[in-house]
Amino acid sequence: MENKQDWTKIIKSEESFFKLNLKEILEYKDLIFLLTKKNFTTMYKQTILGPLWIVINPLLTTTMFTIIFGYIASIPTDSVPQFIFYMAGNIIWVYFSSCLSQISSTFLTNAAIFGKVYFPRLVLPISVIFTKLIDFTVQLVVFILFIAIFIHRGAPISIDIK
């Protein structure tokens, strides 16, 4: 008689891959605030103009886009003022790309902290997102001011929410 055994074993995790414990993350909201403050201060600490770069950088980039794509390449913007058109895309792109690039390296740059004390690992990327959200908010206010200036000067700007 032959004893036939089934040697197939399926190995699965008992926990979900996307286990997100928001309650635990909210318990560390003070750490998120402190890391956000540290990220913001260290980002502009060694610069001459400091946090003024939050406003200067998108203005210079938008000016370059307006000159290159608006005047030299003559790319149409469908009656939207070129400066407003390029600034809208610029501030959103800078927020997305800077969040992505800094979050991708956050675990390598903070590797020494992980072995010393326990905290949820998502605290670091969340603090990066909040730091960049401060920059984005300031840039959005500047963008809204430019829209108001262009509307006051009679530019054909309309806001359509579809």
- pLDDT averages per 10-residue partition of the chain, 162 residues: 64 68 85 90 78 86 89 82 89 93 87 81 91 93 92 79 72
Q: Which candidate, 48, 62, 45, 33, places its Cα nearest to that of 134?
A: 33
Q: Long-range contact list for 95-101, CB < 8 A, 24+ apart?
A: 95/132, 95/133, 95/135, 95/136, 95/139, 98/132, 98/135, 99/128, 99/129, 99/132
The pTM score is 0.76
Number of H helices, E strands in the chain: 6, 0
